[in-house]
Structures are given as C-alpha cells and as structure tokens.
Chains A and B, each alone.
With several copies, the nearest count.
Chain A
Amino acid sequence: MSLRNCQCIRILDVSPVGQLKKPDEFFELKLEYPNWDGWKPGQFVMIRPTGWELDLLWARPFSICSADGETLTLFVQKVGRGTSRITALKPGDTVSIWGPLGNSFAMEPDTPTLLLAGGIGIAPFRGYVEHHSHPENLRLFLAHRLPLECYPFGQLSSKVEGLCMLDGQPDDLQYIIAAMKEQIREFAEKDGLVLACGPTPFMRTVQTFANEFGVRAQVSLENRMACGVGACLGCVTKDGNDHHVQVCTKGPVFWTDKVKL
C-alpha cells in the first residue's frame, strides 16, 4: 500500500488550458511530487491551500491526472469558490495534500477497453493511458462542451484511438448518447471493458447501456467530499445491496452492477 500521509507541498505552475475561446475555465496544476511510493489511475487527492482562512473549510478532491517522480499534475475546472481560489494559486504557494486516495480503474492490458469521458472526467484517463502497457487496446470517447483544445485530448489521442463529440447545441446530447450506446455495444460484443468518468447523469447513462448489453463497466463518481478518508460519511452512494458506502474509500470507481446511482 502506498503512503497516504498528509503533506505540505509547493505549487510549481498553474496554467490555463485552451486559452483562446474560454480563457479561464480549465487549468493544469503542476505541484511538487509528494513523497509517494506509487499511485494508480483513478485515484485522487484532497487539496487545501495553506492560508485559506476558515471560510472554506473543506479541501477539494481532484483526480490524479499524471505524475512522475518530480511533478504531480492535476487538471482543474473552475466551477465555484474553491476551484476559483485553487486555480488562482501562484508558483511557490503551498497546499496541504493527502493521497493517493480511493481505488482505481480496472487495468487489463489485453482487453479492449473503452474510456468514456464527460468533460473534466477526462482527467484520470490521462494517467490511465500513460500507465497502460498496450494503449492500442484503448479507445477514448470524449463528450465536451467547450472547444476541444480546452481538454488534454490531443495528448491522449496521439497514443490511443480518440473520438470526440461537442455538446454545444441542445440537440447534441441525443446524438452523443446514441453514439455512446453504439460504442458500448461494440465493446460488449468484443467482451471488452468500459470505464467512465464524468457527471452523474453521464454515469447513469453508461450504467443503463452497460446493463443493457451486459458489458463489464466501471464508473467513477464525483460526490462532494469533506474528509476523503472514509470518516465523515458525507460522500456515500448506495451499493448493490442498498447499503451506503463511502465513495472516497470504496470508490471513487465502482462496477456498474455494484452501485445505485
């Protein structure tokens, strides 16, 4: 098991991604690599900037996007007060960070694997692709609301087969859902694996189709979290037996037949 102690580390760089159209929604955060002895794609960290005064109490959870022995990279979408302040951090600022937390995505190098990302849900898949020994078995499908350049899609589609669809007009959603269904059916037919990360409605859709076609599938949940360590019971979801389980420790990744969304 990897060390999960809480550390105070320095920000190396915060840079907006896809400046051109929407300059300040997506950010790549580079931090000093914490003293970890490993991590797995799908795991996440809790981050709380030092010197946040007390009016934002909680840390915020972010998927580990990528890491080498020197740098930890996160991919952060600015959606509210916490992410606004996190993306305004400057090099040299410090954060409390604990992790790697939670379980990880199934990794079966020889199985055809479909990666379904809804928007920012692409974050953990960057690490997944980097960790995968047979990227030729991977296909990445991204549903995106903003211009493609806002996401780390290019970095991935150079290594794996990539598909993307813009969710820009009201009608787009139905085409995306239809395409997703088709993809899931295809991977069910080749006895593949489906991994998904994105907003809850997106995860529900994936679950429905996975059930329909009987394919093995995992979804990563983004429930609100206070502690990240399984203690507060604020982040729970229902498992297959209708029991409340912590998303932070029993997840964030769940097999679609073992979770109620």
Chain B
Amino acid sequence: MDMKVSFGGLNLKNPVMTASGTFGFGLEFAPYGDLTKLGGIVAKGLSLKPREGNPMPRIAETPCGMLNAIGIQNPGVEDFITKALPALPWKDVAVIANLYACDAAEFGELAGVLAGEEGVAALEVNVSCPNVKEGGIAFGQDPKQICKVTEAVKKNAGNKPVIVKLSPNVTDIVTCARAAAEGGADSLSLINTLSGMAVDIRNRQPRIANVIAGLSGPAIKPVALRCVHQVVQAVDIPVVGIGGIASAEDALEFILVGAHAIQVGTANFLRPDFSFDLVDELEKLLEDIGAESLDEFRGSLKLPL
C-alpha cells in the first residue's frame, strides 16, 4: 500500500514520526534501526541558548504512563546546526526542529536561525511546555499568545512549513487550534503532555523535583484522541496526532479520526526499535482491516447522526 503522505508543506514517506524529547536528536536510535525508514524525526526541543534543564529527579513511572519534567535541556540551536544536523540523514528523512522559547520575539529569532538550514524540513513550535515553571503553562494556554507566537515564527520561517504543537491542558482546545490557524500555522500537532504529579508517601516528597510534570504514554491516549477529533472537526489545517501511541492499532485510531500523520513519544522507551517496526506494522494492519488506501481510511470515522 502507498504510505506516502503530504500535508501542510511536508512530504513524508509514511505517517510515522517520532515525538520531540523522546527520540533525542535521532542519532541515539541509529544503532536500533534505519533512520531513513521513518516518516519524520522531530528533534528534541531547542532554545536559542543552551539550557541545563530541571533538577533531578525528572522522570517517574505512572499507571500506563510516565511523568517528565526535563525542562528542555538542550545544547542550543547553534550546536544542533553544527553537530547533530550534519550527522543526520536529512536528505532521506524529514528532520523537524522543535522550537522552545518563552516569548514571541525569541520564537521568531529561533525560526530565523533555522529558516536557512537546508536539512530542516519543518519547524514545530512548542507553545505548551507544561514542565517549565517560567511562564510555560499560561502562555501555551492562551489563544492570543498562541496566535502571536505562530505569526512570529511564520514571519521568520522563510519557506519552512510551521507546525504548532498544542497543549491539552486547556478548557477548549478548539479555540487554541483556531488561534494557531489564524496565526498562519501550516499544520497542528497534538497533544503535548497533560499536567500531572506524583508523590512518595514514604519520604513525603514529590517524585519529580519540579513537583509538576508532564504525563505521557498510553494512559493519555483517550484524551489525545478526543483532542485530535475535536480539532479535526473544527479546523481546516492538517493535524498530526500524538499521545500514547504504543501499537499500530493506536496509530490507526488517530488516522481514523482524521490525523495526517502521527508521532510516537513514550513508546520509544518500550524498545528503541519500536518506531522502526511500527512503519511496517502500520501498513500491514491497514491491509488487514481492508482499507483501500491511507487516504480512504483517513478521517473515515462514522459519527452517529
């Protein structure tokens, strides 16, 4: 079956992408599979300046999920451009940069730095980071800010497609999606992590130094599917589905509600070859359930009248 997919200025050889922060810069997974087999690689979050991230502990396991508060530890965008990017097989797999900043101007500047990089297929804008204390939450949860940031990125992105990544920690995800569309986003990706917490009753401390952290993994899949469904129904630009995908069936669920592509996050920790295998499994399952084509299947959910 033809698994190619084109949307929002991206042409992918299949709908399987890896989610930011869960696949490093991609190179970490090269010993476990052929990176060029993937539809796309979203690199870990990048900021203008290097960031040390949050104090430890940063991760905790939860029922069918995990919490993380990494705090966008990264070597800065320049380091990415000079070191990781040249080492990646970007001619044969879409490499997408994930942008993190704390105001619109900084986002614009980041986009400007990446706009000229041939190896970067698109920019994904993380307006949601729920991990970082310094204003992260409020700003990704405010439609006006989302629109402003999207505009700022779009203005400096040159011809790079812009994907805006939405947070589920909002009363109304559709309003946020509309705000990104209004700001000129070429596509949307959702969801980022849910805001959560874990504590240890024995030492009476939070299990994560940052106290509040981001919940990901299969536990959040129903929330993610609902968000994607609501946004697809309401907004015209294409959507990339993220959240708890841990099997080919999960991936197809997102495509069924209308996602053009999907991103695998936490499941990369189940096995480092998970995403590579998923590419094959997805095609096989589509055939098994009798779908005519990816296009025919996408968004074919039958809703009650």
Interface residues of A (CB under 8 A from B): 3-6, 48, 54-59, 96, 98, 223-224, 226-237, 242-244, 249
B22–A236 CB distance below 8 A: no
| Choice from A5, A58, A243 contacting B269 with Cβ under 8 Å | A58
| Choice from B22, B32, B63 contacting A5 with Cβ under 8 Å | B32
Contact residues in B for A96 (Cβ distance below 8 Å):
270-271
A231 vs B28: C-alpha distance when bound (angstroms): 6
B271–A234 CB distance below 8 A: no
In the complex, residue of chain A having the shortest beta-carbon distance to the beta carbon of B207: A224
Nearest CB of B to A141, in Å: 28
| Choice from B28, B58, B65 contacting A234 with Cβ under 8 Å | B58
B59–A234 CB distance below 8 A: yes
Contact residues in B for A55 (Cβ distance below 8 Å):
63-64, 218
B218–A54 CB distance below 8 A: yes
The bracket for how many chain B residues form the interface is 20 to 34
A161 vs B269: C-alpha distance when bound (angstroms): 40
A57–B22 CB distance below 8 A: no
Interface flags, B12-29, vs A, CB<8A=1, else 0? 000000000111100011
A237-B56 contact, Cβ under 8 Å, with A48-B270, A229-B28, A232-B70: yes
Contact residues in B for A230 (Cβ distance below 8 Å):
24, 28
A118 vs B65: C-alpha distance when bound (angstroms): 31
Interface residues of B (CB under 8 A from A): 21-24, 28-29, 31-32, 44, 52-53, 56-59, 61, 63-66, 68, 70, 73, 217-218, 246, 266, 268-273
A224–B63 CB distance below 8 A: no
In the complex, residue of chain B having the shortest beta-carbon distance to the beta carbon of A236: B56
A54–B63 CB distance below 8 A: yes
B66–A54 CB distance below 8 A: no
Nearest CB of B to A85, in Å: 13
B56–A223 CB distance below 8 A: yes
Nearest CB of B to A21, in Å: 22
Nearest CB of A to B287, in Å: 21
A244 vs B53: C-alpha distance when bound (angstroms): 8
List 5 additional contacts besides A54-B246, A57-B266; criterion CB under 8 Å: A3-B31, A54-B63, A55-B63, A57-B64, A244-B73
Nearest CB of A to B189, in Å: 19
| Choice from A6, A48, A57, A244 contacting B217 with Cβ under 8 Å | A57
A54–B29 CB distance below 8 A: no
A56 vs B217: C-alpha distance when bound (angstroms): 11
A224 vs B66: C-alpha distance when bound (angstroms): 12
3 residue pairs, one from A and one from B, having the closest CB atoms: A231-B24, A234-B59, A4-B31
Contact residues in A for B23 (Cβ distance below 8 Å):
231
A237 vs B61: C-alpha distance when bound (angstroms): 19
| Choice from B57, B65, B272 contacting A227 with Cβ under 8 Å | B272
Nearest CB of A to B253, in Å: 15
A54 vs B73: C-alpha distance when bound (angstroms): 27
Contact residues in B for A48 (Cβ distance below 8 Å):
270-271
A54 vs B57: C-alpha distance when bound (angstroms): 22
A235 vs B68: C-alpha distance when bound (angstroms): 11
Nearest CB of A to B279, in Å: 15
In the complex, residue of chain A having the shortest beta-carbon distance to the beta carbon of B57: A224
In the complex, residue of chain A having the shortest beta-carbon distance to the beta carbon of B276: A6
Contact residues in B for A58 (Cβ distance below 8 Å):
61, 66, 269
A6–B32 CB distance below 8 A: yes
A218 vs B28: C-alpha distance when bound (angstroms): 25
A233–B53 CB distance below 8 A: yes
A59–B269 CB distance below 8 A: yes
A236–B268 CB distance below 8 A: no
Contact residues in A for B59 (Cβ distance below 8 Å):
224, 226, 232, 234-235
Nearest CB of A to B32, in Å: 5
A54–B217 CB distance below 8 A: yes
A225 vs B111: C-alpha distance when bound (angstroms): 32
A234 vs B272: C-alpha distance when bound (angstroms): 15
Contact residues in B for A224 (Cβ distance below 8 Å):
57, 59
B29–A229 CB distance below 8 A: yes
A229–B53 CB distance below 8 A: no
